[in-house]
Amino acid sequence: MAEEKYVYEFGVRTDGNAKMRELLGGKGANLAEMARIGLPVPPGFTITTAVCTLFSTTGRLPEAVEKQKYAALKHVEEQVGRKFGDADNPLLFSVRSGARESMPGMMDTILNLGLNDRTVRGLADATRNPRFAYDSYRRFIQMYGDVVMEVHAKDDHSADPFEEILDAAKKKAAVQFDNQLNAEQLQDVIGHYKEVIRKATGRDFPQDVNEQLLGAIGAVFRSWNNERAILYRQKYAIPADWGTAVNVQSMVFGNMGKDSATGVAFTRDPANGENVFYGEYLIDAQGEDVVAGIRTPNPIADLERDMPTVFAELTNVRQKLERHFCDMQDFEFTVQQNKLYMLQTRNGKRTGFAAVRIALEMEKEGLIDKKTAIKRIPAESISSLLVPIFDDEGKKKAKLIARGLPAGPGAASGKVCFSAQKAEELHSRGERALLCRAETSPEDIRGMLASEGILTSRGGVSSHAALVARQMGKVCVVGAATLEIDYGSRTMKVGDLHIKEGDELSIDGTAGEVFLGAVGTVPSEVNQVLAGTLAAEKSSIYASYACLMGWCDECRKLRVYINADSPRQAEAGLCYGGEGIGLTRTEHMFFEGNRIDFMREMILADTEENRERAVAKLLPLQRKDFIGIFMALHGKPATIRFLDPPLHEFVPHDEATQRSLAQKVGIPLEKVKARVHALQEFNPMLGHRGCRLGISYPEVSRMQARAIFEAVVYCKSNGVPVHPEIMIPLVGFVKELRHQVNIVHEIAAMVKDESGVNFDYMVGTMLELPRACLRAGEIAEIAEFCSFGSNDLTQTTLGMSRDDMGSFLGRYNSLEIFATNPFATIDKEGVGELMQMAVERARKTRKDIILGICGEHGGDPASVKFCHSLGLTYVSCSPNRVPVAKLAAAQAALEDSRSR
Amino acid sequence: MAEEKYVYEFGVRTDGNAKMRELLGGKGANLAEMARIGLPVPPGFTITTAVCTLFSTTGRLPEAVEKQKYAALKHVEEQVGRKFGDADNPLLFSVRSGARESMPGMMDTILNLGLNDRTVRGLADATRNPRFAYDSYRRFIQMYGDVVMEVHAKDDHSADPFEEILDAAKKKAAVQFDNQLNAEQLQDVIGHYKEVIRKATGRDFPQDVNEQLLGAIGAVFRSWNNERAILYRQKYAIPADWGTAVNVQSMVFGNMGKDSATGVAFTRDPANGENVFYGEYLIDAQGEDVVAGIRTPNPIADLERDMPTVFAELTNVRQKLERHFCDMQDFEFTVQQNKLYMLQTRNGKRTGFAAVRIALEMEKEGLIDKKTAIKRIPAESISSLLVPIFDDEGKKKAKLIARGLPAGPGAASGKVCFSAQKAEELHSRGERALLCRAETSPEDIRGMLASEGILTSRGGVSSHAALVARQMGKVCVVGAATLEIDYGSRTMKVGDLHIKEGDELSIDGTAGEVFLGAVGTVPSEVNQVLAGTLAAEKSSIYASYACLMGWCDECRKLRVYINADSPRQAEAGLCYGGEGIGLTRTEHMFFEGNRIDFMREMILADTEENRERAVAKLLPLQRKDFIGIFMALHGKPATIRFLDPPLHEFVPHDEATQRSLAQKVGIPLEKVKARVHALQEFNPMLGHRGCRLGISYPEVSRMQARAIFEAVVYCKSNGVPVHPEIMIPLVGFVKELRHQVNIVHEIAAMVKDESGVNFDYMVGTMLELPRACLRAGEIAEIAEFCSFGSNDLTQTTLGMSRDDMGSFLGRYNSLEIFATNPFATIDKEGVGELMQMAVERARKTRKDIILGICGEHGGDPASVKFCHSLGLTYVSCSPNRVPVAKLAAAQAALEDSRSR
């Protein structure tokens, strides 16, 4: 058997291509592809993701890797005409991670590898630039010390030891920037760096270049499992077993003087999607300087002035990349002594706004087809078109205190927090936090997640803050340079304005503006158009929304229903194109006005007769509700669920309300208390609720059925079409369902008889218990439709109460016990299998049974796709999730080979 | 296609046989069988159970029945030489129910059918016995009025209207018994009866004999669904769709004078199993008189004196029946003018005591083989050999107030209740009730179920009380004639002793004795022998027990383990032959002595360090517990489950204890309160418990693993073999298991290293969540054994909390929503399917994985059989359920065609 190939080369000889991202990671695959299409890529090689998995398990690299790596290295030496570790003109390498999906800033990188006390002199001689050589060596030791030898700040409050030394040197030399230190001063810094390493680790910084390379490769593989990488994977549902590749690439230098530069660019604006060349660069700098946000880089347009030839070449590259990859690209380049090198390209992360715009415009431009456009927009993105925006009037009145770069569109207000911890703290108290930092770093991720918006005083649109905000869909303004943040006193100065931690600010991430105080918001443009307060032709955002939704409606197979408990909610969902109601929780209606009193009277009744009397008072109110809903739906299906929650939720628990209730109903307080006490349950989720209530108190089911059918009669008599579907909750045994269905049929017959009006209706059930899924075949003999109650089904299948899991969820997340949060995305392996069994069994009994889902998963894109794969008829979700669900449904249909 | 056969004849022409009980019911099949073997059976026919199901659905009899019934009726007329409805010498019929399984007294019966104002005169002439004829007519009208025309007492407090008329007539005639009324007086009674019916129903008592027959057949079919029949089916898990057959049989009369009689007999004593002819009869009476318990019948032995020829014939029948059916028979006979007729035979219901004795003795006699003997003893029976008995000394000291017939062996004490309702009321309050009635009737079933024992002043060993008590396994004494019960004043007189409702009595159902007050008990003879306080050879009960258990051990495939949390419990289970521990709940150990303080300290700790310190205090105590258990087991498997319940269960909820805890641990009271509050959960069953605790607090798992392994080292060092199996609870995700298993292996390695002692152990998990069952294949990659936690698995699969279902269980039972109580017997259709999937998947991964069950179902015979069919390795149950489980396991193996 041939030896497995673990190392893939790129350069003159290129083994890989863009399709091999599973094996080579995104970066490695695209380096290979760029080399293939003739872009100037410094040669190197990629160690595959398969090695990462082996390394994680055994802690060692397979032997074959060593041999293949050696061969590849020799090829690179031949191409560049220099040797690794050569004392005269050494070949240097960068070592970078590269996972299948980009995980920016999550894993470690080492540059300038191959320098040591000997080769640094060779580099100095060969480049005739000792300052450059020693600066490169200094950077290398710093990165290697941090990443491989794990020399870090003692704690969160201490400074990084290397930065400390560098700052001291700058102070001593009385200069502001690193590149102002001369060779001797840098040598001094290097000496201190080595000492710090020796002190912290008890070992010397390694002089053997092969040892350096091995160490760096190992460290990159190890960084796949560092805490922030794990957290990132959780958020983006990236499986831990994908692993990362390692890219070893010959170094080129953007920091060899004024004729050198480094930059990051996007083929279009990743924040708003506009078709402009977008990016930034720094003259005489290495790549990390741009992303780290230490020096604020120049906008890419300025490069035309600084390096006109290179700019022209780059404009050409921009076009070539988009035409070749047919997607917006985010690429890194370095200019070494006026020669352009491409270091990376990938599909650019973009905001939801940008995702929609780019996809639609590329389709118009003929770069992609409609299907590709739909598939390319993350379903979640569409919600960014629907979130409230700042009120123009409010903005005019508010004090504009600073401007920065718009890096994440939207409107956010919150209390200023100068640390990620503080933001998390506020968030956990239910307050809105606005994270304000000079710059952000991967350590701030949790705090960024917890914030409404992110504001930085330094860094450009490709800084860490901008990058992460883009991906998280956070409102973000970066590089608001007039802000002077003082972490020590936890205050911020803007001109002569002093802002304390906790003060309120607002940021407009679309315009790049910062306001004092909380600025009022208005509905999104889309919602304004839907509400008729804005003319459709005045909003390009609405136009994008409408176009995309139109496309989705053409190709999706799943119907999208709404969970709505009132005519108002129903209308909100219908606006977005909801095709019916998948869930009306009748109990929500019981909390309005004085209805709760009748409900309580019903619960307190100790005879069926008294209960009937109380229930009778609820009848006209419920009927009115249903009329409202039927009117709003005008013939679209209306799925109404019978009373579901335990009665305990309806009774008062404080003595004052109990006393007033006792007076109202005319029974002793003690009796009220006793009844409230009797209703307490150990595990109410598993208690007397759902159809169990309707079975214990059939008069309640009778009342609800009557209210529904009388509403139907009213609507039909007024010429409004109605399509009612009655849904029995929490069925586990077919006899439960039969009992309730009999009541429904009996009341329907009575109402038809009384009114002389004939009408159609359906009766079905929820599948929300494991037993119901197992017995779906039998249940489908009676049920005309079934809807998965995926919230309860998840709780029972996992034996895990969503309300109680907070106490261990953090721990579970950090241990990666869940592949994804099972209450956000359907747990396919567990709950999903039960759903699949239920679908098969129900369909076996009743071939064309209507099957849907009405848990919160109905609005989650991954779950919607799973529902499509199960062949459900519809998903039902909150009104504002309808567009997301439609987009996900369309994508599922397009990805499904059966439908093509 | 041939018309379906709905009617089967018996007599000279016999269509059926004993094997056709599914179709003909037990009574019909055995009537046919008796006819076949030449016993004197009055001819008749059986309408099949299939008709019952059709009748239930449509409310009508299929047309084919009418035709077949007519043909059969004609055949009967030919055989007996009389005609149905003939005015001169009318043929009369009895109409009786007959289900697949005997359901004594649960359904309705009608005798003397075919009498009307005309035929009664013919009967009077033909028999030359007008008194007999009018008495028969009177009885017929009464039954028909009750059963078919539904003329009943107004409510529970009123007398039966027919009995009222009869009592008035007896009073008027100044006689004591019915048979002392003469023909004229009876005609008077008949007149009143007809009037009562007309008044109550607005219709006349029907004179058309065919209308009578049709009405009676319909009523019997309908009675399959009366409330008490449903209740009975629930208790004995008889499916509702079995239905009953109807037997129409030509009447013979035991009430034609002194040369006539009717009786009920058993081929052996059904109470204690002794091989004696056992039964009772009444001269000049109809069958119902014996069972109803109105007149106390004579013991069967007296028949030798009253009717020597008949007695000899009957002794012959007794032998013939046992030889033919190879089981103890319960039969009914009637002597009409010195001629013996057999009306019914069936396998006799017997007490647990009797079941064991009869099976063992029949095996010895060669009537049956060992396997049949084992299969024939209801597994539950064996527990009756293990229940405490009255202390001889206590009995000597107690006041013996009455004697009756021993109808249900055992010892029972409780508060006297004169009504079934009262008994239910006491029982629901957790008090022990003793039901005292002159006689019992089917309406008393719920009260009988709720009582410790049953005592009647009238009726014999085949009275309703005796019959039902036998089947329920209740302690029972019947016919204690010296008791004078006065329902009105709710008191009872015995000699000059007055007993009020609520006073305490004791009854010895083995000896037939009634004592004043509560007599002390001692362990059963079996337990005395096992404890060494009674010599084995002195107890025939022990001999039976030991013999049977020996047989079971020979043939069962399932191992039987014990659930034991202490050495004492372990020993109790080992005494009964438990083969290891299937579940040790370590948390139970935390409640003893001052351990709870350490546990609480651990819970209150806010740092890992403080938690470690508290946990360290628990270590030596747990180690000691485990040493005790390992010593008791001496090398038998010991399955120890890690901490399972939510921490909330360990903390104090009253302020006083909270205050003292705060002082002990040295933290503010407020902090204790806050922690207790924080631990409260909405649904603790689905909360922070099971392995979730061990994952949140790995130091607890480490401590428990260490305590176990140090105990192992201690035992091994002292020459005691140990076989520990560590069980991780509430696993739903394989990563949860892996996390805990890693801890276990890590600690094992440490303890081996520290002690220098090597040892084996296993690590496994509970399968108690639906998701765990679905993922069993993956779980089995890590788990070396799995044990179904069927309690939690049932709760989650059904979404039903055992603690909260009380509020709707009554309603569910009356609607027959559960086939059987899913918390008593495994819900095969739901939970069972998940178990089966888990078994298949786990075995696919790990072929010889050890699989068991340790929920309470492990001691339930039906569930044990299901576990056998799944191919589990063991069942684990409470110590005192071990014999039941062994017997059930043996039966399962014998019934399993794969093992034969």
Tens digits of per-residue pLDDT, B376-404?
A: 999 999 988 998 899 988 899 999 999 99
Nearest by CB to residue B739, choosing from A739, A807, A815, is: A815
Per-residue pLDDT at B527: 93
Pick from A766, A640, A634: nearest CA to A706: A640
Q: Model confidence at B813, in pLDDT bands (50, 70, 90)?
A: confident
**C-alpha–C-alpha distance, residues A506 and A388, integer Å:** 13
Beta carbons within 8 Å of B856's beta carbon, 6+ residues apart: B790, B791, B823, B824, B877, B878
Provide the terminal-to-terminal Cα distance of chain A, rounded to the nearest Å: 39
User: Which of A234, A677, A679, A683 best probes binding to B when mutated, by most B CB atoms within 10 angstroms?
Assistant: A683
**C-alpha–C-alpha distance, residues B527 and B539, integer Å:** 11
Chains A, B: CB contacts under 8 A, how many?
Answer: 165
What is the CB neighbour count within 10 angstroms for residue B715? 23
Contact B774 A830 (CB under 8 A): yes
**C-alpha–C-alpha distance, residues A98 and A803, integer Å:** 38
Tens digits of per-residue pLDDT, A323-347?
A: 999 999 999 999 999 999 999 999 9
**C-alpha–C-alpha distance, residues A450 and A454, integer Å:** 10
Nearest by CB to residue B801, choosing from A682, A797, A803, is: A682
Cα–Cα distances in angstroms (integers) from residue B196 to residues B162, B186, B193, B200, in the given order: 8, 15, 5, 6
**pLDDT for B362 beyond 70:** yes
Q: Model confidence at A900, in pLDDT bands (50, 70, 90)?
A: very low
Per-residue three-class SS string for B545-607: HHHHHHHHHHHCCCEEEEECCCHHHHHHHHHCCCCCEEEEEHHHHHHCCCHHHHHHHHHHCCC
Contact B803 A771 (CB under 8 A): no
Per-residue pLDDT at A295: 72
B698 in A contact zone (CB under 8 Å): no
Per-residue pLDDT at B104: 67
User: Which of B692, B736, B833 best probes binding to A when mutated, by most A CB atoms within 10 angstroms?
Assistant: B692
Do A654 and A592 meet the contact criterion of CB atoms below 8 Å apart? Answer: no
**pLDDT for B787 beyond 60:** yes
A502 torsion bin: left (phi>0), alpha (psi -120 to 50), beta (else): left
B738 in A contact zone (CB under 8 Å): no
Per-residue pLDDT at A706: 97
A732 in B contact zone (CB under 8 Å): yes
Q: Model confidence at B79, in pLDDT bands (50, 70, 90)?
A: very high
Tens digits of per-residue pLDDT, A561-584?
A: 999 999 999 999 999 999 999 999
User: Environment class of residue A555 by beta-carbon count within 10 Å: exposed (0-12), middle (13-18) or buried (19+)?
Assistant: middle
Per-residue three-class SS string for B527-548: HHHHHCCCCHHHCHHHHHHHHH
What pTM, to 2 d.p., does this model score?
A: 0.84
- Torsion, Cα of A32, A35, A40, A46 (10° steps): 30
* Nearest residue in chain A measured CA to CA from B818: A733
Phi, psi of A784 (to 5 degrees): -85, -15
Chain A, residues 749-768, CB within 8 A of chain B, namely 768
Average the pLDDT over A252-267 and give the result: 91
What tokens does A31 get? 């380096």
Per-residue pLDDT at A294: 64
Q: Model confidence at B526, in pLDDT bands (50, 70, 90)?
A: very high
The C-alpha R_g of chain A, in whole angstroms, comes to: 32
**C-alpha–C-alpha distance, residues A439 and A502, integer Å:** 19
**C-alpha–C-alpha distance, residues A900 and A893, integer Å:** 8
Cα–Cα distances in angstroms (integers) from residue A669 to residues A266, A609, A662, A675, B501, in the given order: 71, 21, 5, 10, 34
Chain B, residues 788-807, CB within 8 A of chain A, namely 792, 795-801, 803-805, 807
Q: What letters, b where the CB count within 10 A reaches 16 and e where it falls short, cover B259-288?
A: ebbbbbbbbbbbbbbeeebbbbbbbbbbbe
Per-residue pLDDT at B441: 82
User: Environment class of residue B897 by beta-carbon count within 10 Å: exposed (0-12), middle (13-18) or buried (19+)?
Assistant: exposed
Chain B, residues 833-872, CB within 8 A of chain A, namely 833-834
Q: Strand pairing partners for A246? A: A47, A97
Contact A815 B695 (CB under 8 A): yes
**pLDDT for B830 beyond 80:** yes
**C-alpha–C-alpha distance, residues B713 and B494, integer Å:** 66
What tokens does B49 get? 């159970």
Residues of A within 8 A of B739 (CB-CB) are: 815, 817
**pLDDT for B76 beyond 80:** yes
Phi, psi of B14 (to 5 degrees): -125, 120
Provide the terminal-to-terminal Cα distance of chain B, rounded to the nearest Å: 39
Nearest by CB to residue A681, choosing from B687, B804, B818, is: B804
**pLDDT for A899 beyond 60:** no
Contact B769 A798 (CB under 8 A): yes
Residues of B within 8 A of A827 (CB-CB) are: 771
Would you call B346 helix, strand, or coil by DSSP?
strand
- Higher local confidence (pLDDT), A551 or B463: A551
| Residue % of chain A over a pLDDT of 90 | 72
Per-residue pLDDT at B291: 63
* Nearest residue in chain A measured CA to CA from B778: A829
Pick from A816, A820, A815, A842: nearest CA to A831: A820
Contact B811 A695 (CB under 8 A): yes
What tokens does A242 get? 């994908």
**pLDDT for B900 beyond 50:** no
Contact B829 A774 (CB under 8 A): yes
What tokens does B860 get? 């339930």
Per-residue pLDDT at A108: 78
Q: How far from chain centre, in Å, is Cα B860?
A: 11
Tens digits of per-residue pLDDT, A613-641?
A: 889 999 999 999 999 999 999 999 999 99
Contact B774 A736 (CB under 8 A): no
Q: Model confidence at B493, in pLDDT bands (50, 70, 90)?
A: very high
Nearest chain B CA: its distance from A428 CA (Å): 15
Q: Model confidence at B810, in pLDDT bands (50, 70, 90)?
A: confident
- Higher local confidence (pLDDT), A458 or B683: B683
A57 in B contact zone (CB under 8 Å): no
Least-confidence region, from A41-45, B138-142, B437-441, B514-518: B437-441
Per-residue pLDDT at B50: 93
The mean pLDDT value of chain A amounts to 92
Residues of A that are catalytic: 464, 854
Per-residue pLDDT at A293: 56
**C-alpha–C-alpha distance, residues A113 and A216, integer Å:** 8
- Higher local confidence (pLDDT), B471 or A612: A612
Tens digits of per-residue pLDDT, A742-784?
A: 999 999 999 999 999 999 999 999 999 999 999 999 999 999 9
Residues of B that are catalytic: 464, 854
Average the pLDDT over A356-372 and give the result: 96
Whether complex ipTM tops 0.85:
no
**C-alpha–C-alpha distance, residues B29 and B102, integer Å:** 12
**pLDDT for B899 beyond 60:** no
**C-alpha–C-alpha distance, residues A318 and B668, integer Å:** 66
What tokens does A278 get? 């977008």
B769 in A contact zone (CB under 8 Å): yes
Do A863 and A825 meet the contact criterion of CB atoms below 8 Å apart? Answer: yes
Beta carbons within 8 Å of B671's beta carbon, 6+ residues apart: B604, B662
Q: What is the largest CA-CA distance in chain B?
A: 104
What tokens does B289 get? 């008189």
Nearest chain B CA: its distance from A348 CA (Å): 34
Beta carbons within 8 Å of B196's beta carbon, 6+ residues apart: B145, B151, B161, B162, B165
Contact B811 A696 (CB under 8 A): yes
**C-alpha–C-alpha distance, residues B293 and A819, integer Å:** 70
Cα–Cα distances in angstroms (integers) from residue A732 to residues A691, B316, B712, in the given order: 9, 55, 45
Helices B161-173 and B130-147 pack at an angle, to 10 degrees, of 150
Per-residue three-class SS string for A316-330: HHHHHHHHHHCCCEE
Do B134 and B140 meet the contact criterion of CB atoms below 8 Å apart? Answer: no
B107 torsion bin: left (phi>0), alpha (psi -120 to 50), beta (else): beta
**C-alpha–C-alpha distance, residues A44 and A764, integer Å:** 62
B695 in A contact zone (CB under 8 Å): yes
Residues of B within 8 A of A775 (CB-CB) are: 829-830
Pairing of strands B723-728, B637-641: parallel
A119 in B contact zone (CB under 8 Å): no
Least-confidence region, from A135-144, B53-62, B431-440: B53-62
Tens digits of per-residue pLDDT, B691-729?
A: 999 999 999 999 999 999 999 999 999 999 999 999 999
Pick from A873, A892, A867, A884: nearest CA to A577: A884
| Residue % of chain B over a pLDDT of 90 | 72
**C-alpha–C-alpha distance, residues B316 and A830, integer Å:** 66
